[in-house]
C-alpha cells in the first residue's frame, strides 16, 4: 500500500482529544447530577436515558473521523502488475573542458554553451540511457551509463577545466574512453556525441574514431566556437585578471576547427552548435534514424486510489451518528442486557 498525503496522518491526534472531551463531559454531567440529588432518584426520573448509547455514538464518531482522515491521506493499493518495455539507445556525451572552452566568442562561453546543448538534448530524449565523459589533455569519466537524467544534468553542471589536470584537447582519448562505456556484447545501438572547439586535433583522433566505427559506434560531433576566434579569460573570484598567453607572451586566440571535427564524424555527421534549436532538430533527426533496442523490462504496480471508500463510509457513519438518539431503544430495553429492570 502507498500513501499519497502522509501529512494528514497527524489529524489522527484529534481522536484522543475527542475522547478526552467526551470523558470530561460525562464527568461534568455526573457532577451536576450529584448536585441535583441522589443518583438513583435521577435515574428513576429519566428511565429512557441510556448509558450505552453515548458510548456507541462516540465510537461511531471516532470511526467516522478516522475514515475521513484516511481518505485525505489517499491510500493506494497495487491492483495489478504490468510489464513495461523500454526501448532506446546508449549515448555517451564527450564534453571538451579544456581552457580554450572558456573563450567567450559564443555567449556566455564555449563551455557553458556546450552544457546548455547537452542539457537540452537530454531533455528531448525518451528512454535512452546516457553517460558523460570530460576531456582536455586527457579523458576523465564523469558519469557511467544511466537512465537517471536528473543526476546526469547535475554532474554536467559541475564540469569545469579543473577536472582534468593536463590541458590540451585529446580527442583520441575522449573517443576511446567513451567507447569503453558501451557493452560490446550488447545489441543496443551506440552513439557518441562529441562536443568541442576542435583545437589541438591530435593525429590519433581519426584512428580512434575508426576503431569506434568498427565496434558499431556512431559518432556525431558538435562544434562550439567561431572561426574568428576569441581570447581565453583567466579569472579570480569571477573577475577577469588576465588572458591566456603563449610561450612568447602573446595573447592566445583560439579558433573553432570545424574541418577537424568533421573528419571524426564516422557513421555520423557534424553540426555547428551556434544555434541550439538547429542542433536539437539535427540530433532528433539523427536519433530517429538509429534503430532502438529493448534494453530494460520492469515489473511495475499500477496503484489505484482508495480514498473514495473511506470518505463514503465516514460520511455514512456521521449520518448514522446524527440520527442515533441517546435514549434507550425499545427492543434492546426489553432484552434487559444490563439488568436495568428490577
CA distances (Å), origin 13, targets 16, 62, 144, 311: 6, 11, 47, 18
Find out whether the peptide bond into 108 is cis, omega within 30 degrees of 0. Answer: yes
CATH number of 85-297: 3.40.50.410
Q: Where are the domains of the chain?
A: 2-74+306-335, 85-297
Nearest to 329 by CA among 56, 50, 54, 47: 50
Q: Is 38 left (phi over 0), alpha (psi -120 to 50) or beta?
A: beta
Q: Cell 534549436 belongs to which residue?
A: 277
Task: List, in sequence order, every residue forming a beta bridge with 220; answer none if it has no partner.
Answer: 193
Largest CA distance in the chain: 119
Q: pLDDT truncated to tens, each residue of the chain (342 aa)? A: 667 778 888 888 888 998 999 888 888 877 776 766 665 655 555 555 666 677 888 888 889 899 888 888 888 776 555 666 778 899 999 999 988 889 888 989 999 999 999 999 999 998 889 999 999 888 889 999 988 899 999 999 989 888 777 666 788 889 999 999 998 888 889 999 999 988 765 678 888 888 998 988 999 999 999 989 888 888 777 777 788 787 788 888 888 988 888 888 865 689 999 899 999 999 999 998 888 887 665 555 667 777 888 888 889 988 888 877 665 555 445 555 445 554
Q: What is the DSSP letter of 99?
A: G
User: Cell numbers of 48, please?
Assistant: 429512557
Task: Please tell me the pTM assigned to this model.
Answer: 0.62
Q: Where are the beta strands (DSSP E) in the chain?
A: 2-3, 75-88, 90-96, 129-135, 139-146, 190-196, 217-223, 230-231, 233-236, 239-243, 253-254, 270-272, 293-305
Amino acid at each position: 500500500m502507498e500513501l499519497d498525503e502522509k501529512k494528514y496522518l497527524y489529524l489522527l491526534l484529534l481522536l484522543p482529544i475527542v475522547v478526552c472531551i467526551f470523558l470530561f463531559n460525562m464527568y461534568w454531567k455526573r457532577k451536576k447530577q450529584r448536585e441535583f440529588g441522589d443518583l438513583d432518584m435521577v435515574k428513576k426520573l429519566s428511565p429512557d436515558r441510556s448509558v450505552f448509547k453515548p458510548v456507541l455514538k462516540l465510537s461511531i464518531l471516532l470511526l467516522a473521523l478516522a475514515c475521513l482522515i484516511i481518505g485525505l491521506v489517499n491510500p493506494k493499493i497495487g491492483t495489478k502488475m504490468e510489464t513495461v518495455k523500454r526501448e532506446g539507445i546508449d549515448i555517451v556525451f564527450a564534453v571538451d573542458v579544456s581552457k580554450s572552452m572558456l573563450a567567450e566568442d559564443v555567449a556566455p562561453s564555449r563551455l557553458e554553451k556546450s552544457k546548455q546543448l547537452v542539457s537540452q538534448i537530454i531533455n528531448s530524449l525518451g528512454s535512452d540511457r546516457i553517460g558523460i565523459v570530460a576531456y582536455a589533455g586527457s579523458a576523465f569519466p564523469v558519469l557511467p551509463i544511466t537512465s537517471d537524467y536528473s543526476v546526469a544534468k547535475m554532474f554536467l553542471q559541475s564540469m569545469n577545466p579543473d577536472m582534468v589536470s593536463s590541458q590540451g584537447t585529446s580527442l583520441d582519448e575522449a573517443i576511446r574512453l567513451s567507447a569503453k562505456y558501451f557493452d560490446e556484447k550488447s545489441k543496443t545501438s551506440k552513439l557518441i556525441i562529441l562536443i568541442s572547439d576542435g583545437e589541438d586535433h591530435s593525429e590519433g583522433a581519426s584512428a580512434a574514431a575508426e576503431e569506434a566505427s568498427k565496434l558499431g559506434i556512431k559518432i556525431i560531433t558538435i562544434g562550439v566556437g567561431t572561426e574568428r576566434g576569441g581570447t581565453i579569460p583567466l579569472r579570480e573570484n569571477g573577475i577577469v585578471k588576465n588572458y591566456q598567453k603563449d610561450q612568447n607572451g602573446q595573447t592566445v586566440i583560439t579558433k573553432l576547427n570545424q574541418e577537424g571535427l568533421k573528419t571524426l564524424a564516422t557513421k555520423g555527421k557534424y553540426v555547428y552548435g551556434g544555434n541550439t534549436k538547429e542542433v536539437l532538430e539535427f540530433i532528433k533527426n539523427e536519433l530517429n534514424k538509429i534503430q532502438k533496442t529493448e534494453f530494460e523490462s520492469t515489473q511495475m504496480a499500477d496503484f489505484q486510489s482508495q480514498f473514495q471508500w473511506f470518505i463514503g463510509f465516514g460520511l455514512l457513519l456521521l449520518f448514522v451518528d446524527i440520527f442515533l438518539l441517546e435514549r434507550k431503544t425499545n427492543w434492546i430495553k426489553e432484552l434487559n442486557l444490563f439488568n436495568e429492570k428490577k
